[in-house]
Amino acid sequence: MSEYLLLLLPGAMYFWILFIGQTPLQEILQDKEQRILPRILACPVTLGQYVCAKMLRCFVLCSLAAALLIIVSALLFGIKWGPAPKLALVVVIWSVSMTGLTSLIQSLARTREQANVISPLVLMLFAMLGGSMFPYDNLPKFLQLLGQYTPNRWAVLTMLGVVHSKPMTEFIAPIAALLALGILGSLLAMVFFRRQLGAGQMK
């Protein structure tokens, strides 16, 4: 039972946590449209601090959701997720990548309506190609070629590496890819948010 669940559960977890984690980032566009942002920035808070706070909430929310899913699945289904220190490290890496990805998607949208269209499309595409909906090995070869470049696939590889007690060096590539996504995505999102929100403050 647990072996079967491990075929889909890591990818499904990453996929659904992304939808949970994007909530704080959606609040940025909501605050902008409802003209709450000028009142927030009237306090001793900079635009950069405001966006960083939303990203930090996203990171914490993703970390808590991942930890809760791991604990509950271990208790209910007897899934052995591997050594706790490595597992905690993977949860942090997952959360960093989720923060970067969701921040970047939301920063590219001009309105909440745009974000509500763009985000599900991107996340669903990554999920289908990366093994979050179907076992990756059962996908056609050409889809596997595309799917190997998705964060969902990298997340599955890192988690299964811990589950099967592999040395960290064997899955350092997906770890590096997830960290790069998180860091670069967050930096780009900060730039895009500052431009968008800064321009909105000048109107």
Q: What is the pLDDT of residue 43?
A: 83
What pLDDT, on the 0 to 100 scale, is given for residue 89? 95
**For position 32, what pLDDT does the model report?**
86
For the chain, the domains span 2-198
DSSP 150: S
Examine the pLDDT at 203 and tell me if it is beyond 50: no
**Contact call for residues 99 and 59 (beta carbons, < 8 A):** yes
First-to-final CA distance of the chain: 58
Identify the CA nearest to 131 among candidates 156, 162, 96.
156
**Spatial separation of the C-alpha atoms in residues 55 and 107, rounded to whole Å:** 11
* Residue-level pLDDT at 202: 38
What is the greatest pairwise CA distance in the chain? 58
- Is residue 200 predicted with pLDDT exceeding 80? no
Residues 90-116 pLDDT 10s: 999 999 999 999 999 999 998 888 998
- For residues 199, 200, 202, 203, the Cα torsion angle rounded to the nearest 10 degrees is 120
List, for residues 161-193, the tens digit of each pLDDT value: 999 888 888 889 999 999 999 999 999 999 999
**Does the pLDDT at position 133 exceed 90?**
no
Tokens read off for 147: 């799917």
The predicted-structure confidence for 38-76, as pLDDT tens digits, reads as follows: 888 888 888 889 999 999 999 999 999 999 999 999 998
* pLDDT score, position 1: 53
Residue labelled with tokens 């964060």 = 151
